[in-house]
Amino acid sequence: MSIQIVGDADGIKLWNMMASSDDKTEQEYFNLLNNAAAKYGKVWFSDSVTQKLTRKNQTMWKMEWNNNDSQWEVSLFHIPEGVKKVNERISSFGKDPIEEIEIELDLEDILVEEQL
């Protein structure tokens, strides 16, 4: 049985990003949050990595267990003044990096094509 997480898409994206992070500090933060959520059915979280780098508070989300629907619900809790709801780190998560392909063209090939 898979547990669903519904609600604010950006908060869900951050939660999934933290869950799959390779950063040791972020893994520890996620594990603390995950354990607290399992114990209390409610947790508040933000992008701790960006907060540490910028030394500015970040957007906070609340995740709460809905017992009636058997699912986690994520909602926007607070956006501090002067902070965007979602930073670049969150908005770029899950996007495949654009692969650059280098194509070598010979000027003669282009000229020959145009004459045909």
Q: State yes or no: pLDDT of 100 exceeds 70.
A: no
**What was the pLDDT predicted at 94?**
72
**What was the pLDDT predicted at 60?**
98
Q: Of all residues in the chain, what percent are helix, strand and coil, respectively (each to 5)? A: 40, 20, 40
Tokens of 21: 């992070």
Average pLDDT over residues 37-41: 96
Average pLDDT over residues 35-52: 96
Q: State yes or no: pLDDT of 59 exceeds 60.
A: yes
Residue 87's SS3 state is coil
Task: Determine the Cα–Cα distance for residues 36 and 116; give it in Å rounded to an integer.
Answer: 70
HSE-up of 44 (CA within 13 Å, CB side)? 7
Residue whose C-alpha is closest to residue 45's, from 82, 83, 16 = 16
E strand intervals along the chain: 4-7, 42-45, 60-66, 71-78
Task: Determine the Cα–Cα distance for residues 61 and 77; give it in Å rounded to an integer.
Answer: 5
- Whether the CB-CB separation of 31 and 24 falls below 8 Å is answered with no
Lowest mean pLDDT among 16-20, 24-28, 72-76, 93-97: 93-97
Average pLDDT over residues 20-32: 96
